[in-house]
Structure 1
Amino acid sequence: MLQTPHGGGTNKHPHDQEDDFPVKPSSSSGTQIGSSNTAGATGGDGGYVYNGNNFPSFVGRHRKKILVGSVVLTLSAVGVLIALLVEKPWDRNGASGSPSSLFGGHRGGAHGDGADGKGNHAGGGANKNGPPPRFDDKSTVQISSAIRCNAHTPPLDQPFEYGKQPIRGVNLGGWLVLEPFITPSIFEPYISQNVTDEYTLTKLLGKEKSREYLQKHYSTWVTEDTFKRIRDLGLNHVRIPVGFWALGGLTEDEPYVPDLSLDYLLQGLKWAAQYGLRVMVEIHGAPGSQNGWNHSGRVGQIRWMDGSPEGEINGKRTIEYIKQLTRLLQGPGMEHVSPMFGLLNEPAIFMLERPPIDKWYKDAFREFRNITGPGKGPWGVLHDGFLGLTEWEGFMPKSDRLALDVHNYLIFDYNLIRLNRKAQANFPCDVWSRTMQQSTHAFGPTLVGEFSSATNDCATYLNGIGVGYRWDGTFQPEEDRIKGLPLDEAACQPKLNGAVEGHCSCKEQNRIGYYTPEYRKFLSDFTQTQMDAFEQGLGWFYWNFKTETNALWSYFDGVDQGWIPKDANNRPGGCLALGRPIGPYSG
């Protein structure tokens, strides 16, 4: 997540990074980076539309120099074309028949009374928080028809009706893929030694110490209680990011700890089943880095599908990892607890050549479906790559349960971060709701895999270690400093707001004690209007379930502090409450 914006606007994270790193695109309306729409002004509905004419210079300043390497690797790909399904009026990439038939013929497996005959489920580990034992290639989970996360959601042995029932979920970011902004404490002891991501951390510590260091983190950052609380908050889905290194098969120059995080992923799936939650497993980091941001595992150059021989090899390796993880999720019971699969998080397509990526998406999805079989297995989810939803209209039509993922944030766009609070709270109702409706009509099922309550980019290390912040005017990637480019004006607009004590201070903006009742009310409005807008598609996953230092990125903190409802299914605010009702899509 973040480092795109791991959450960005589209995109998840602060994914603007230091050194010669690519800068993550800003979030915006459906007119996203790379689109040809131009406006630069407030439209008639009060929603700001990003000025696409500014984008070329943006890319020019931040495009990565690609390191060409020569590596020998032979991969074979055998593909069988997937069966095309009947198109529904609202769904150009859905399942044939009614939503209730999405898993027709694929509901076998281990469901019944549970492991102990009383509806209880095996936890799957030697102890509550320790590493679970190794699993077979096809893992299993016990599914009980009596287990459901809440009254609004069907039990796990019944299909979730995507398109009729909204996804309401959170991300377990910073768990199996490290991010400095989520868990600064993991990185701060080593920042002076140039540690900026999981690659440099594990390279510095070495395999043995890294394994011990990471196992302690994995076993404490997420526990069974995490899933229990997610269920108790009325949520129905969890998105779990995982790096390619979880599946092993590393090269000599990849210092990551192999295999260990896979054990914890499988434990997470069992905990999810225990509490009636569905999981979207998603590959968050690809060999070579698909975006050059720290949440991919390695900050810096993009060495994935970048036009070089090394990039091509890493693209093929990624498909092999997709196939391995897909096979793992084919075991009895898995189809119920893991009905969505993210092929790859946030590939920076806006900095790469589009045609090869289109082909890669098609190849990856074909191999994925070859393993599951037509009409079986999880939905496949593609990320929009920061091109904007309109760029995907008509892509891979009538595919077998294919969905599109977009990550929406205001704070990585200088124009949107400067909007006043009222305009920001209205923006999801006026703009994002329409883009979700349009994409659902023109592409098919569309979801928001990341968003947050944040209205500034002040979270520690959000934009990368040592990069600064747009909000207070300190944001400047290393390559801009080298070129002598001036800093952009502070997004807090000190000429207008500088007299307000603490307004332009990121230190104060990060402190919950600084938040006034009026600001908390705004955060509540902004969060709930986003939820309303994103439910015009398949629904949403909040980024993140918790962080160490910033409440605006923590669903748990938002609930505790009062700006996120205690029950996601009973929300008192939203677009209608602000007098901005969302109308039906008119085409």
Structure 2
Amino acid sequence: MHLLCSFVFALASVRLALGSLPGKIYGVNLGSWLVLEAWMLPAEWEAMGGQSCADCTSCIATESAFATAYPNTVDEEFAKHWSTWFTQDHVNQLKAAGINTVRVPLGYWIVEALVDRPAEAYPRGGIKFLSQGLQWLRDADMRVILDHHALPGVQTPGQMFTGNCTSDVQFYTPYNYGRALTWTAVMTALSHIHPNFASVFALEAINEPIMDASMTPGYGTFQQNFVKTVRAMELLLGIPISGFTLDLPEPLSSLNLTSAFSMASASDKTGLFSAEVTQAIQSAIPILLGMEVDLGLSDILNLGLLQSHGGGWEPLTTNFMDINWQYDNPSNPASAAIGPQGYDNHLYYSSCLQGVADANPDAYMQSTCNLDRVQNDAALGNSPLWFGEWALPTQFNATDDFLFMWADAQKLAYSQGAGWLYWNFKVETSDAAGDLGRQWQRTFTRSYLEGLARGYLTQDPSAVHNPHVCDPYKTNSTGSSRK
């Protein structure tokens, strides 16, 4: 047992070298892997037993609907999908292409104890595939953002990416905020104590909340508690947080996580252990113990071993969608920051929710080339900012020449901040999918790997075909526009 623990903690201590923000993010999303979006792989989805419909609430179009329809085979079918959609070969290709960061979309159900069965239904077993994939990425020296992409209760209506396409949005309630915080505590602990998670540098609180802030009550308080949950768990693991210390009657090295938490929460002088944070960590501890076998760990709550082998750890970067993602008096996530924090923005020109330019090539180029979101966010404390999702979707039939230009323009614009992550690393190639890689009027995304093959994207992600592509489109006015 102690040999295994020594192996675990010795590897986990490489966080100082691996689990930190790259100088500039050049990344991709691993979309439709552990949160499946059927529109990206229609042939595979149909073969699995899923359905396609114009309104995703009306058929078997999501993981939840699939698990409800096929309770006896869902785990087996999804295990096949998880083992083939993202593989070691994809890591090799991305590494060869210069990608240094990946964003991994996750559903809350990857922590299976959080699922309220039988009222909620999702596939089981994903955590082991996540661990294997993270090991590949760690070995390739690629940084990782763990993105809470699909929240308990659903954070946005009518979207496949929430895992349950529904108009009944229930995330913004105390109960589901609590489940999300427990998820956060579990993922924070794993990111520090599991060797396969060593290159995880950021934990994203929520993917794409409702844009109208008046419809997200309590979200600002959740932001505060999300950060406190991460930092409280890190302090309990012996990771230094500037300005915060635990006042314990015994050294951490003589305690386990359970006893340290009991003492710290009972006599809290840090201000981190709010009632919500205390409940989240209290709920997370037995979940972590229950994961020992599945994740090949042992004695994972022994703080003495953590103290002796875990020196050099850095705090995770907490991560939120930026303040400008929402409108109508949104809370500012910068006010929640304790320690390192990053901000995320997603920009799809073809989305009806995000239409930022008229539907013609000149308007797209002018908007992109004069984009000032990095500067506007920085003025509100939302820095560093990275663009966690973007692609080449258009509202018109774009030519190849335009796509070459626009790819360059977007990379130049997004590189003004901390960098970018393309959506997605791949899409299905099939008759059912059609030419998803090319027909932008039919889809929101494309394959980064296919974009390289077609030449729209450069083999060196830090390079562009034409560094002067924006010169004819620069104006003296701002290029930012509200969604």
For normalisation by structure 1, the TM-score amounts to 0.58
* Counterparts in 2 of 1:438 and 1:331: CA distance versus 1, 3 Å: same
| Cα deviation 1:337-376 (Å, max 9, x = unaligned) | 1111111211215265455110111111111111123253
1:248 aligns with 2:188: no
Asked whether the equivalents of residues 139 and 328 of structure 1 are also in contact (C-alpha less than 8 Å), the reply is no
Counterpart AA for 1:521: D
Cα distance change, pair 557–394 in 1 and its aligned pair in 2 (3 A): closer
Distance 2:136 2:228 in 1: 30
Identical amino acids, percent of aligned pairs: 23
Quick check: 2:426–2:447 contact (8 Å CA) kept in 1? yes
Deviations 1:8-52 (A, max 9, x none): xxxxxxxxxxxxxxxxxxxxxxxxxxxxxxxxxxxxxxxxxxxxx
Partners in 2 of 1:232 and 1:320 — Cα distance? 37
User: Aligned partners of 1:224 and 1:424: how far apart in 2?
Assistant: 36
Query: In the alignment, what sits opposite 1:323?
Result: 185
Shift of 1:241: 0.7
Can you list the C-alpha shifts for 1:493-526, whole angstroms capped at 9, x where unaligned?
xxxxxxxxxx5xxxxxxxxxxx7xxx11211211
Using the alignment, how far apart are the partners of 2:467 and 2:409 within structure 1? 4
Alpha carbons of 1:161 and 1:222: their partners in 2 closer, same or farther (altered >3 Å)? closer
Number of the residue aligned with 1:48 = none
CA distance in 1, matches of 2:375, 2:328: 11
DSSP 3-state at the match of 2:370:
helix
Cα gap change, 1:139 to 1:319, in 2 (>3 Å): farther
Show the counterpart of 1:551: 437
- Counterpart check, 1:284 vs 2:149: yes
**Cα contact 1:140–1:334 (8 A) shared by 2:** no
For residues 161-212 of structure 1, the C-alpha deviation after alignment (integer angstroms, 9 at most, x for no partner) is 55xx211100000000010121112433432782121110111111x31111
Could you tell me which runs of 5 or more consecutive residues in structure 2 were left unpaired when the two chains were aligned. 53-57, 236-240, 243-313, 439-445, 479-483
Q: Secondary structure at the match of 1:395?
A: helix
When residues 352 and 195 of structure 1 are mapped into structure 2, their CA distance, relative to the original with a 3 A threshold, is farther
Residue 191 in 1 paired to residue 84 in 2? no
| Partner amino acid, structure 2, of 1:216 | K
Give me the CA root mean square deviation.
3.1
Aligned 8 A contact 1:404 1:447 in 2:
yes
Decide which of 531, 535, 560 is 2:415's aligned counterpart: 535
2-side partners of 1:337 and 1:419: how far apart?
Answer: 40
The DSSP-based 3-state class of the residue aligned with 1:329 is helix
CA contact (8 A) 2:204 2:318 kept: yes
* Structure 2 equivalent of residue 445 of structure 1: 384
Q: Which residue identity is paired with 1:407?
A: H
Contact preservation (8 Å) 2:105, 2:147: yes
Q: Is the 8 A contact 2:350 2:393 kept in 1?
A: yes
Q: Is the 8 A contact 1:284 1:344 kept in 2?
A: yes
Measured in 1, the distance between the counterparts of 2:231 and 2:404 equals: 40
In 1: Cα distance, 2:129 partner to 2:328 partner:
33
Q: Distance in 1 between matches of 2:350 and 2:160?
A: 18
The answer to whether structure 1 residue 436 and structure 2 residue 374 are counterparts is yes
Matched, 1:520 2:400: yes
8 Å contact kept, 1:278–1:337: yes
| Paired residues, number | 371
CA contact (8 A) 1:172 1:239 kept: yes
2: CA distance, partners of 1:305 / 1:332: 29
Larger deviation, residues 234-243 vs 415-424: 415-424
CA 169–396 in structure 1, closer or farther in 2 if over 3 Å, else same = same
The answer to whether the Cα contact below 8 Å between 2:315 and 2:340 also exists between their aligned partners in 1 is no
Counterpart of 1:205 (choices 37, 47, 70) is 70
* Between 168-177 and 380-389, the greater mean CA deviation after superposition: 380-389
What displacement does 1:230 show?
Answer: 0.8
Measure the CA separation in 2 of the matches of 1:279 and 1:348. Answer: 25
Q: 1:398 to 1:222 in 2, by over 3 A?
A: closer
Query: Is 1:403 matched up with 2:268?
Result: no
Which shifted more, 353-362 or 268-277? Answer: 353-362
In 1: Cα distance, 2:215 partner to 2:227 partner: 19
| Aligned twin of 1:215 | 79
Q: Is the 8 A contact 1:156 1:276 kept in 2?
A: no
- Structure 2 letter corresponding to 1:157: A
Tell me the equivalent position of 2:310.
none
Cα distance in 2 for residues equivalent to 1:420 and 1:196: 32
Give the deviation of 1:315 after TM superposition. 1.4
CA separation of 1:143 and 1:521: change in aligned 2, threshold 3 A = farther
Partners of 1:410 and 1:455 within 8 A in 2: yes
Q: Give the C-alpha shift of residue 160 in structure 1.
A: 4.7
CA gap 1:527/1:274 in 2 versus in 1, 3 angstroms:
same
Q: Describe how 1:254-269 pairs up with structure 2 within 5 A.
A: 254-258=120-124, 260-269=125-134
C-alpha contact (below 8 Å) 1:139/1:330 kept by paired residues: no
For structure 1, the residue ranges without an aligned partner over 5 or more in a row are: 1-134, 146-154, 457-491, 493-502, 504-514
Tell me if the contact between 1:143 and 1:156 (Cα under 8 Å) persists in the aligned partners: no
Summarize the Cα distance change of 1:219–1:413 in structure 2 as closer, same or farther, 3 Å threshold.
Answer: same
What is the Cα deviation at residue 302 of structure 1? 4.1
Map of 1:28-39 to 2, 5 A cutoff? none
Deviation at 1:542, TM superposition (A): 0.3
Alpha-carbon distance in structure 2 between the residues aligned to 1:568 and 1:389: 36
For residues 352 and 103 of structure 2, the distance between their equivalents in structure 1, rounded to whole angstroms, comes to 25
For 1:228, what is the secondary structure of its paired residue? helix
Contact 1:384–1:392 (8 Å) recurs in 2? no
**Aligned mates of 1:545, 1:574 — CA distance in 2:** 24
The alignment partner of 2:315 has SS state of: coil
Distance in 1 between the 2:137 and 2:370 partners? 35
Find out whether 1:560 has 2:440 as its counterpart: no
Deviations along 1:420-459, one digit per CA (max 9) or x if unpaired, are: 212212322212xx11122124222211110001113xxx
Q: CA offsets per residue over residues 449-477 of structure 1, 9 Å max, x none?
A: 10001113xxxxxxxxxxxxxxxxxxxxx
Alignment match, 2:169: 303
Q: Which moved more, 1:243-252 or 1:327-336?
A: 327-336
TM-score, length basis structure 2:
0.70
What's the CA shift for 1:139? 6.2
1:180 equivalenced with 2:38 (yes/no): yes
